[in-house]
Amino acid sequence: MSKKEKHGSINEIFMNIGKKQEEIIESYTEDNTDNNLSHDDKEQYEEYEEFTSFDDDDNDDEYDNIDLDEEYEDEFDNKETFSPIYKYLGVIIVIGMILVLDFMCGLKLGIGPIFAIPLKTYDDGGTIEYYGLGYKVIKYNQIQGRRDKEIGSWSLKYNSNPITIQDIDFAISMKDDKNNTIEKYNNKFVRLITTLQKNDTSNKELIFGFYDDKQEFEIELICKNKEIQNNNITLEIGKETTILGKLSYDKNKKFYIKNCFIEQ
């Protein structure tokens, strides 16, 4: 039966019940319904009861059998599971970016540290120790000596004692085992005992080193004029010289001395 037909039947039932209200409804009880209603009225009343009845138990069972969409449940569970992981990953990425930025600024540009806090100052001219998130920076500023910057973990120690080496030994070591020699001395604070070979005014640099007649053992050490701490010193070519500074091997396969303190 269609909804339209059902609504029509209901209207008819109510009209008939209204007409027979006194004789049917007043005399009707649960025990004698069949006796008081005519055959036609009985059919209409049963149809009305069937239409208006509502089985709570059946309806509850119907809702109990409805399951959440499995894909939605999986998506919800994944969000709950991975949400903290994404948060931790984001924190790690931010810290990593801070470290990289401080390292690049410190090593390449010579500025900073930006994200580290100064916690200790030495009475050597003003050397400062900075602490960041898992790293440490020592910015040396000795009156006569170290003026470079060193970056490492929190266990990094203050070190004002340079590695002492003579140019001829350096030349022999480079000849015998170049790679290990570079690894040993690159970016290290050193005291070099050498000889001033040339004052290159065009490139604004001093060239130190050792040359032998047979050209078997040679080493060239370059100090830019702008890197000389005591640039008012008068130097004599061919005279033994002691240099304090940070040794660096660059992409041009040359050794440079940074923050040079020169004595003759």
Instruction: Label each residue of 104-165 as H, E or C.
Output: HHHHHHCCCCCCCEEEEECCCCCCEEEECCCCEEEECCCCCCCCCEEEECCCCCCCCCCEEE
DSSP three-state, residue 215: coil
Task: Name all domains of the chain by residue range, CATH numbers in brackets.
Answer: 3-64 (no CATH), 68-158 (no CATH), 163-263 (2.40.50.140)
Helices 3-19, 39-52: inter-axial angle, 10-degree rounding: 130
Q: What is the pLDDT of residue 214?
A: 78
Rounded distance between C-alpha atoms, residue 104 and residue 107, angstroms: 5
With beta carbons less than 8 A apart as the criterion, state whether 229 and 244 touch: no
Q: What is the pLDDT of residue 84?
A: 75
Rounded distance between C-alpha atoms, residue 232 and residue 248, angstroms: 24
Q: What is the pLDDT of residue 80?
A: 55
Q: What is the pLDDT of residue 208?
A: 95
Residues of the chain with pLDDT under 70: 1-82, 102-112
For the residues of 48-63, what is the DSSP string, one character each?
HHHHH---HHHHHHHH
Q: What is the pLDDT of residue 239?
A: 93
Helix or strand run (H / E) with residue 75 = helix 70-104
Residue 107: CB atoms within 10 Å: 13
